[in-house]
Structure formats: C-alpha cells, structure tokens
Amino acid sequence: MKKYIIFDFDGTLANTNNIIVASWQATFEKYLGYSLTVREIESTFGEILVNTIGRLIPDAPVNEVVDYYRAYQDSHQKDYEVYVFEGVRELLEQLRERGCIIGVGTSRTAFSFWNYMKKLGMDQLVDEVVTMNDVSSHKPDPETIDAVLIKMMAHDGEPYDAGSGIPDHVRDAALMVGDTKYDIGCANNARVDSVMVGWSHYIDEEAMIADGFVPTYHLDKPEQLLEII
C-alpha cells in the first residue's frame, strides 16, 4: 500500500516543456552562439541550472547565465502555454480521497514553483513541498526525497527520530513520480519505488539505465497510478 506519493513538478504535474526549451535555446544562442536540439535540451530536464550550465556552457559566468535564463523565462511566460496535464488534477483529488499524503520534490526555486502552482490553481492540492532551496544536494541525490518524506511523516503524525532516520515502513509506503532520470535516480538512491511517466516528452531510457537508474513502474496516463497504490 502506497501512502506517501511524491511528484516532480515540471513535466510531471504541469507541462512547462515549451517555455523551458525556449529559455534554454535563447540562453545557448546568447552564450554559445548556437542552440541545441530539442532532444538535447530535453536530456537536461530535471537537472539544476548550475549543473547544466557547468556542463554545456563551461566558460560562461554561471550566476549571470542563471539570471539570464530565469529572466527570459519570467518575461516570456505569456508566450508559451503552461498547463496541468490532463487527468493530473483529478488524480490528486482521488489520492486525497484515498487518504494519501501528496508531496512535491522539485528542482525549481520555491518562488518559481509556487508562482506556477498558484497560477494553475494547484496550490491547495499538495500537502508538503521541498524545492531546491530546501536541500544542499540535488537529484539524483536522495536528499530531496528524504526531506519531503520527513515533512510528510510530520503531516501524518508519524514519529521521526533523526538518529534512526526514516524507517523502512515509510520508505516502503512511498512512491516517487517523475519524468526524468534525475527523479528515478533520486528514488533509487532513497530506496523508494519510482514511476516514470510517459505523458510528457521523449525519454532516453537506455541512457538512464546506463547511468544505473531503473524505474519500478511506467505509466502512460495519470489515472493508472491508482492501480499501483
């Protein structure tokens, strides 16, 4: 029985793909003089900005590039539709009805995440959230899942002893739902079952498995998650 359901945000709850791709294309054009293909950009989904910049624009001033990327995305939101994936809102409502606790573990900043959630009318449908501001080590490190599980345990009235760590029965009752290898890797490293969603974008699963990250489940539609829990 799965009770602690953790979702990624981008590409899992909401389709932000187009604005992310456009923001990267503009950033690459400015700092490299050329852009990458959509597939190449999709392979960076789920990675924190500074790591992507360090790999792909190594000679650029990281903080300046981060500011440019975020400013472009903020100023062009109206140009690219961002929406909740079909069936996701209903899924969250049904999970609540079944007594599940809903968490989010995202590599977005808290400001960016809540800005989108409020615009999409989703801010009342999640119980506990961990953003990149809450952790020092990011996906695929397990810290994101561990941090949100601790919050979810408190929400559930489940005792937590920092000395003993998160108990096995809580990890067994947890599920990470995401669209990138970073989500799956985070779940693998946190010893939590994972779901790779198939409603978002192309996923190079061979490359993901080559990195040692293997999802427990695959889903094509949000409602199929109810069969797992």
User: Residue written as tokens 């969250």?
Assistant: 92
DSSP 161: B
The size of the chain, in residues, is 229
pLDDT recorded at residue 150: 98
* Cα(66)–Cα(36) distance, integer angstroms: 17
* Cα(223)–Cα(76) distance, integer angstroms: 32
Domain boundaries of the chain, sorted by first residue: 4-15+84-228, 21-79
pLDDT recorded at residue 201: 86
Q: What is the pLDDT of residues 49-95, one digit of tens each?
A: 999 999 999 999 999 999 999 999 999 988 888 999 999 999 999 99
Task: Output the tens digit of pLDDT for each of the chain's 229 residues.
Answer: 899 999 999 999 999 999 999 999 999 999 999 999 999 999 999 899 999 999 999 999 999 999 999 999 999 988 888 999 999 999 999 999 999 999 999 999 999 999 999 999 999 999 999 999 999 999 999 999 999 999 999 999 999 999 999 999 999 999 999 999 999 999 999 999 999 999 988 888 888 888 899 999 999 999 999 999 8
CATH number of 4-15+84-228: 3.40.50.1000
Give the amino acid at 171. Answer: R
* Cα(7)–Cα(105) distance, integer angstroms: 6
Tokens in use for 138?
A: 């990011």
Q: Are 6 and 178 in contact (CB under 8 A)?
A: no
> Within the chain, what is the greatest distance between any pair of CA atoms?
54
Sheet holding 128-130, edge to edge: 128-130, 101-105, 4-7, 174-178, 193-197, 217-219
Nearest Cα residue to 148 out of 87, 114, 107, 117: 107
pLDDT recorded at residue 99: 95
* Cα(201)–Cα(83) distance, integer angstroms: 14
DSSP 172: H
